Amino acid sequence: MKEQRSSYTNKNRKKFNKILLLAIEAALICVIVAVYFIYMKNFYHKDGNSNTVKTGQNSSGKKGSSGKNTNVKGTPTPTPLTEEEKREKEAKELLEKANLSAMQYDYDKAITMVKGFDNYTQVKILTDALSGYEEKKSTLKRFGAYDSASQINHIFFHILVADDSKAFDGDYKQKGYNYYMTTISEFNAMLQQLYDQGYVLVKLHDVSKKGKGKDGSVSFEPGDIMLPPDKKPLVISQDDVNYYEYMTGDGFAKRIVLDKDNSPTTEMVMDDGSVSVGDYDMVPLLEKFIKEHPDFSYKGARAILALTGYEGALGYRTNDASSPTYKQDKESVKKIVKVMKERGWEFASHSYGHRNMEKATYNFIVKDTDRWEKEVGSLIGPTDILIFPFGIDIETTMGHYNSDKFKYLKKSGFDYFCGVFKEPWMQIKTDYVRMTRRPMDGQAMLEFPERLKDLFDLSKVIDPNRPKWEK
């Protein structure tokens, strides 16, 4: 019996030892697994800043494909700002906006913004900025470096050549492009030289404006452009912003569009047929330049875009009611124009059919003007600027306009009339304004370079790929 009991006890002890060993192994496995998960949690969520996303999760913390809630836990809650810190943050944000206005010579707006901040006198960064604005404002001079509005230059371009290898490829259209067009590299070089010489972009309506006399009568008078004494106001415009069909495939933009940030830019069709959005014409290039050089723009001014109507507007064929995209195209133009006007762009009529308005009959002027208003004016809204086709004025008189053509155009709402001349010339009358423009095209640069020597060093402007001049 003793031997049997001893044998039974030994068996139980061995069985117990096995169970104990298995329990110890299980405990060790649990410890290892726990340590592993703690380590991985810290690896993925250290400081709450990791962008790593686990399977079944998305970066927003919402439910992923697994259907499980993926909100990241353990992210430290930001310490709420004190009232003093909030106020300081708001003051800095306000100051950024005010400084931009000041850089664009709108010191009154900057001053008003600062003074509109609650108890601004108790915020040092605001009072310091205010003193700076007022000091700089006191140094401004009407028309800056000029003595009168008549000295202000108004320069203009046509659609810019984005790919000169296509525009200047030796075909029958090369000569016309060489004559009338400017390349993107030339435009950029001109902008930089203008900026370096102290030119500042202004609106035509800043140059001369409507004023009221003591008797209540309305008349035009020189504007009140207030600039530092070394700055020179400048007006820029662009003709035929329609992107005509004949330009297709010749290295030009296709149309103006709004990018993902709702900023005006351009589309261009590439060699493989794809459409690229980018800086392929004056609008996005000028926008980019002003963003980099805010002080090139007086109170946010941009340029004037002059539109004909016989092939639509801004690259959209709004003249063709049979087009399947007709209604959509009209809405696109309206939307683009709205955004551009908010940014400081102005729009002008370049007539409907781009005909010589001096030679045209009165009846033709009436029909042409009415059609432009119906097809283009209805999309871009009212404009009082008329830029003459070919730069040819309706009259040769140096006195007051007196023709029936003028009377009809005036009745149609036009107050500003722009022709072309080799140098600045301006006429401000009680009921209208005439202002000449200077072309910045191939003919001006190659045939008449002396006419631009006051503005540019053409040796640093002319595109080396531009063809030699031939009349």
Query: DSSP states of 231-264 as a string?
Result: -EEEEEEES-TT--GGGTTSS---EEEE-TTS-E
pLDDT, tens digit, 9 for 90 and up, residues 226-267: 999 999 999 999 999 999 999 999 999 999 999 999 999 999
Would the pLDDT of 29 be above 70?
A: no
pTM: 0.82
Average pLDDT of span 261-284: 97
pLDDT at 68: 45
Give the amino acid at 252: F
Q: pLDDT tens across 125-150, in order?
A: 999 999 999 999 999 999 999 999 99
Q: With contact defined as beta carbons under 8 Å apart, do 110 and 102 qualify? A: yes
Residue 437, burial from CB neighbour count under 10 angstroms (0-12, 13-18, 19+)? buried
| pLDDT for residue 70 | 47
Res. 4 pLDDT band, cuts 50 70 90:
very low
Q: List, for residues 422-433, the tens digit of each pLDDT value.
A: 999 999 999 999
More confident residue, 327 or 65: 327
**Would the pLDDT of 11 be above 90?**
no
Q: Is the pLDDT of residue 200 over 50?
A: yes
Residues 51-76, mean pLDDT to the nearest whole number: 45
CA distance 442 to 424: 19
In percent, how much of the chain has pLDDT > 90? Answer: 79
Homologous superfamily of domain range 144-460 = Glycoside hydrolase/deacetylase (3.20.20.370)
Tens of pLDDT, residues 295-354? 999 999 999 999 999 999 999 999 999 999 999 999 999 999 999 999 999 999 999 999
Per-chain mean pLDDT for the chain:
89
Query: Can you say whether residue 415 is alpha, beta or left, with left for phi > 0 and alpha for psi between -120 and 50 degrees?
Result: alpha
**pLDDT score of 5 more than 80:** no
Residue with tokens 């200077």: 438
Q: What is the pLDDT of residue 196?
A: 98
The Cβ of residue 293 has, within 10 Å, a number of other Cβ atoms equal to: 14
CB–CB of 196/289 below 8 Å? no
Q: Give the domain ranges of the chain.
A: 2-41, 83-139, 144-460
Query: Phi and psi dihedrals of 236, rounded to 5?
Result: -125, 140
Share of the chain above pLDDT 70, in %: 84
